[in-house]
Amino acid sequence: IAGVNTYENVKEANYTRLCSTKPILTVNGKFPGPIIRAYYGETVYVNVHNKGKYNITLHWHGVAQPRNPWSDGPEYITQCPIKPGGKFRQKLKFSIEEGTLWWHAHSDWLRATVHGPIFIYPRKNTSYPFQKPDAEVTVILGEWWKSEIMDIQEEFLRTGGGPNISDALTINGQPGDLYPCSKSETFKLNVDPGKTYLLRIINAAMNVVLFFSVSKHNLTVVAADASYTKPLTRDYICIAPGQTVDALLHANQEPNNYYMAARVYSSSPVLTFVNSTTTARLHYSGNYTPTSSPSLPKLPYYNDTRAAYNYFGSIKGLPKRYPYKVPTNITTHIVTTISLNTFPCSEGQICEGPNRTRSAASMNNVSFQTPSSSILQAYYNHVNGVYDRGFPSLPPFIFNFTAEYLPLDLEIPKRGTDVKVIKYGSTVEVVFQGTRLLQGIDHPMHLHGTSFYFVGQGLGNFDKHKDRKTYNLVDPPFINTVLVPINGWAAIRYRASNPGVWFLHCHLERHLSWGMETVFIVKNGKGHHEKVLPPPPDMPPC
């Protein structure tokens, strides 16, 4: 268990994958990074010391950070970056979450290698709402690039799209033995027959939603995004970047060698790396002759939208563990499109899109422009000119967003740093509406500062009269990242009781870089315990 204080040094270390070695940015030299362990209700202080050569910030994904956006981490949203040589002490208070979360860099594309798990155990003297596992196992799904990640990002931004396809998928940082020269780079899990293992699964990949499965074994999902669920037994799970899943694995098959594997789920046909599969081994202890070539688990086909959609629709929350009832009386309605767009190419830019365009992305037709100083600091100190309060609550144009042919001029979004201001204590509903502009695809939308009830999803255009009747207001999961289905919608509800400046964005790194994000500012309430805390003395300067 991490003590009250942990010390994390961000620094470079050499790692070899796919037969080539490169320096990567790590925390304490580890890739994936160290585990933060805590009990529900505890507070942990993390002392970050940037010994690398890039500006960096760290974010604690899914940790609500009550009244304390100062420690949240997204660059230029709640803080300016920690410069090389700089230090920053961040406070993590586990006030709602129980289960698995993770931490990652929240500046540039650095989270590719700078990430690690957070395990939050039940409050002392209480237990899991499921059978106590014999052991817990970290399963971090990720991506590996042979080139330097900052070069990948640079090329991506310079070309307005560019190649950003990773060279391998990984399990616990290892590609697995289906990739060239990766025999020794395979994660191995040794299990004892009859025992039960709690897999703490994290999708830390940059740009891909994944299916994950263990050959011949079922997985029983017991928590999603550090909130307990009704047990759901499946032969595969689907997990989007940002999401976490706690799943029980019973070692109840014939002692042998088995594969676990992850592969891309992509509703978009343009991605060419859909054939790539990362593997790890499950190895039973005991005396037996193992199969020399175990079979791969069956995973849904890469573009099996139904397999993803149905999986997410099957996850039910555990109402007796809810922090509050699912809101039924909504005071703040927000409907927002999430679109891929294009910008015309300006002089000197390399643009690889059709008709000299470069890719962009937007919410409600605003492509978010990241400011060069922190929005939280501007908000707290009443500084003008850093952001606008103009984020629209409804799409600025009404049409069938999922129609086959959409007017081309809708493809060009406006640019702005438009935030949405929300009253303390509001009950909020957000409907994310995917569009067919440029190209429809699933988007994992993530909100900082709170989890939310995922109450509904559908394909096609959201119809507020018809679709609200289909909501699950009884036992929806309480999560922090929702996968909005391709050319469809997803609806979430929550109570805005955490004052602060909270980032809302697509967790596909390429869409985040293109502007698929906004900020929700939850104002202070009247009570003494309803206000943002004062900033710590060591906030990194802008």
Footprint on this chain of Cu ion (rule: CB under 5 A): 443, 506, 508, 511
**Least CB distance from residue 481 to ligand C2O, whole Å?**
7
Nearest to 339 by CA among 357, 367, 369, 362: 362
Nearest to 419 by CA among 497, 523, 508: 523
Query: Could you say which of 263, 505, 510, 511 contacts ligand C2O (CB under 6 A)?
Result: 505
Nearest to 270 by CA among 510, 89, 512: 510
Residue 387 tokens, joined? 């952001």
Instruction: Report how far residue 132's alpha carbon sits from residue 221's, in angstroms, rounded to the nearest whole number.
Output: 14
Instruction: Report how far residue 176's alpha carbon sits from residue 174's, in angstroms, rounded to the nearest whole number.
Output: 6
Distances in whole angstroms, Cα of residue 46 to Cα of each of 76, 244, 405, 437: 20, 21, 50, 42
Whether 178 contacts 280, CB under 8 Å:
no
Residue, CB closest to ligand C2O: 61
Residue 493 binding result from Cu ion, ligand C2O, none, given CB thresholds of 5 to 8 Å by partner type? none
Closer residue to Cu ion in complex, CB, 67/505: 505
Asked whether position 503 contacts ligand C2O by CB under 6 A, the answer is yes
Segment contacting ligand C2O (CB under 6 A): 251-259, 262-270, 502-510, 524-532?
Answer: 502-510
**Least CB distance from residue 190 to ligand C2O, whole Å?**
31
Instruction: Report how far residue 138's alpha carbon sits from residue 54's, in angstroms, rounded to the nearest whole number.
Output: 28
Closer residue to Cu ion in complex, CB, 67/511: 511
**CA dihedral angle for residue 318, residue 322, residue 327, residue 333, rounded to 10 degrees:** -90
Q: Compute the C-alpha angle 266/443/320, nearest 5°.
A: 110
Segment contacting ligand C2O (CB under 6 A): 139-147, 399-407, 492-500, 501-509?
Answer: 501-509
Residue 74 binding result from Cu ion, ligand C2O, none, given CB thresholds of 5 to 8 Å by partner type? ligand C2O
Closer residue to Cu ion in complex, CB, 279/367: 367
Position of tokens 């502009």?
Answer: 437
Asked whether position 448 contacts ligand C2O by CB under 6 A, the answer is yes
Instruction: Report how far residue 264's alpha carbon sits from residue 247's, in angstroms, rounded to the nearest whole number.
Output: 19
Residue 55 tokens, joined? 């500006």
Residue 155, classed as helix, strand or coil, is helix
Closer residue to Cu ion in complex, CB, 495/511: 511
Nearest to 477 by CA among 454, 449, 447, 446: 454
Residue 59 binding result from ligand C2O, Cu ion, none, given CB thresholds of 5 to 8 Å by partner type? ligand C2O
How far the first Cα of the chain sits from its last, in Å, is 34
**Least CB distance from residue 175 to Cu ion, whole Å?**
25
**Least CB distance from residue 513 to Cu ion, whole Å?**
10
Closer residue to Cu ion in complex, CB, 241/449: 241
Closer residue to ligand C2O in complex, CB, 104/436: 104
Enumerate residues 105-124 that contact ligand C2O by CB under 6 A.
106
Tell me, residue by residue from 236 to 275, as one string, x for binding to ligand C2O by CB under 6 A and - for no binding.
Answer: ------x---------------------------------
Tell me, residue by residue from 51 to 80, as one string, x for binding to ligand C2O by CB under 6 A and - for no binding.
Answer: --------x-x------------x------
Position of tokens 């999803």?
Answer: 457
Instruction: Report how far residue 500's alpha carbon sits from residue 67's, in angstroms, rounded to the nearest whole number.
Output: 6
Cα dihedral sign for 477, 482, 484, 489?
Answer: positive
Residue 503 binding result from Cu ion, ligand C2O, none, given CB thresholds of 5 to 8 Å by partner type? ligand C2O
Segment contacting ligand C2O (CB under 6 A): 121-129, 178-186, 494-502, 503-511?
Answer: 503-511
Closer residue to ligand C2O in complex, CB, 186/244: 244
Residue 93 binding result from Cu ion, ligand C2O, none, given CB thresholds of 5 to 8 Å by partner type? none
Q: Which residues bind ligand C2O (CB under 6 A)?
A: 59, 61, 74, 104, 106, 242, 446, 448, 503, 505, 507
